[in-house]
């Protein structure tokens, strides 16, 4: 999300491009081949920088899966205004935005295109028309959504012919609602706590929708004990550090292994701009948390014992 540098329309600095190139190189060296974008990230500059990396790296496009998202619009399409923003799933905007994404990424097609966050004014038939055109032209292979509820997905599915193969959702030990609602549903405060997460994970599994987790390490709040954190998160950070030490791995690996341990096969979308953090993250593939460890982390992060 942040590899384009500043959230404005200023030119991309050379130092930003060097940092982005080092980051992508570290990811490729670690056998990461999936790259997630959105047309809104740093006002489009994140895709521009990545496109330049693709251009100077022969054969790279054929070795990676490229995903982007559309729908978030800035007021007057000017980044970071004080005016209210809006979401736009109109046919015209989806088609136009996808074309701009391809130009910035310097590629002929996306492997996956997601609707970024729900547009309250969505006309599902317009989405369906846009998806048909993009698939028929070869500009998008697969489609999905982000931050959508089961009911919102069902509404789209009544019109969209293509399978919706992805739902990208916030999920981490800092934001564990997707799993918490499963055991809280039959408790007095369970409905209030689960909120829009109710049934989401099970729905996606039942409908073969791949779940991607954004912000999978909770913005780094559990990577180390911090004086700015107190209560459950401080206790959880301490437990993460203890498990990392015991397993000779990194805190990043523990936090991501917690997500990977779930049988839904959730895919963490790491958002760091630091190559060292990428290398620390992929160590998650080398460890497996026990049930006791998994639940202990969840209880610590929530500050509540399991019911």
Contact 179, 198 (CB under 8 A): no
Query: Catalytic one among 41, 142, 203, 295?
Result: 41
* Phi, psi of 36, deg, nearest 5: -105, 130
The total number of structural domains in the chain stands at: 1
Decide: helix, strand or coil at residue 213: strand
Q: Is residue 238 in some structural domain?
A: no
Contact 209, 167 (CB under 8 A): yes
Range of the domain at 147: 1-151
Q: Is residue 71 in some structural domain?
A: yes
Per-residue pLDDT of the chain (307 residues; tens, 9 = 90+): 999 998 888 899 999 999 999 999 999 999 999 999 999 999 899 999 999 999 999 999 999 999 999 999 988 777 765 666 899 999 999 999 999 999 999 999 999 999 999 999 999 999 999 999 999 999 999 999 999 999 999 999 999 999 999 999 999 999 999 998 877 655 555 444 555 567 899 999 999 999 999 999 999 989 876 555 668 899 999 999 999 999 999 999 999 999 999 999 999 999 999 999 999 999 999 999 999 999 999 999 999 888 7
pLDDT at residue 192, as a whole number: 46
The Cα 170–Cα 303 span in angstroms is 20
DSSP conformation letters of 108-150: S-EEEEEE-S--TT--HHHHHHHHHHHHHTTSEEEEEEES--H
Q: Is residue 294 in some structural domain?
A: no
pTM of the model: 0.93
The Cα 267–Cα 204 span in angstroms is 13
CATH code, 144: 3.20.20.100
Q: Is residue 7 in some structural domain?
A: yes
Q: Is residue 114 in some structural domain?
A: yes
41 assigned to active site: yes
């Amino acid at each position: 999300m942040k590899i384009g540098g500043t959230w404005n329309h200023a030119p991309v600095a050379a130092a930003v491009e060097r940092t982005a190139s080092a980051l992508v190189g570290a990811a490729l060296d670690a056998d990461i081949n999936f790259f997630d974008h959105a047309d809104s990230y740093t006002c489009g500059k994140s895709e521009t920088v990545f496109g330049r990396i693709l251009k100077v790296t022969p054969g790279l496009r054929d070795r990676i899966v490229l995903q982007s998202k559309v729908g978030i619009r800035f007021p007057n399409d000017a980044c970071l205004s004080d005016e209210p923003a809006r979401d736009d799933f109109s046919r015209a905007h989806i088609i136009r935005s996808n074309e701009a994404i391809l130009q910035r990424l310097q590629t002929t097609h996306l492997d996956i295109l997601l609707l970024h966050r729900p547009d309250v004014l969505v006309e599902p038939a317009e989405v369906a028309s846009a998806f048909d055109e993009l698939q028929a032209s070869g500009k998008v292979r697969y489609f999905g959504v982000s931050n959508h509820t089961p009911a919102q997905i069902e509404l789209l599915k009544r019109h969209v012919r293509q399978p919706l193969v992805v739902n990208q959702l916030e999920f981490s030990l800092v934001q564990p609602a997707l799993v918490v609602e499963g055991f809280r549903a039959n408790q007095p405060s369970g409905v209030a706590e689960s909120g829009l997460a109710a049934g989401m994970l099970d729905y996606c599994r039942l409908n073969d929708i791949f779940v991607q987790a954004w912000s999978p390490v909770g913005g780094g709040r559990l990577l180390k004990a911090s004086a700015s954190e107190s209560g459950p998160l401080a206790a959880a950070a301490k437990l993460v550090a203890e498990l990392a030490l015991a397993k000779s791995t990194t805190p990043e690996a523990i936090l991501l292994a917690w997500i990977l341990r779930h049988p839904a096969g959730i895919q963490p979308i790491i958002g760091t701009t630091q190559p060292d953090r990428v290398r620390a993250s992929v160590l998650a593939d080398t460890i497996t948390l026990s049930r006791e460890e998994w639940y202990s982390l969840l209880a610590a992060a929530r500050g509540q014992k399991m019911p």
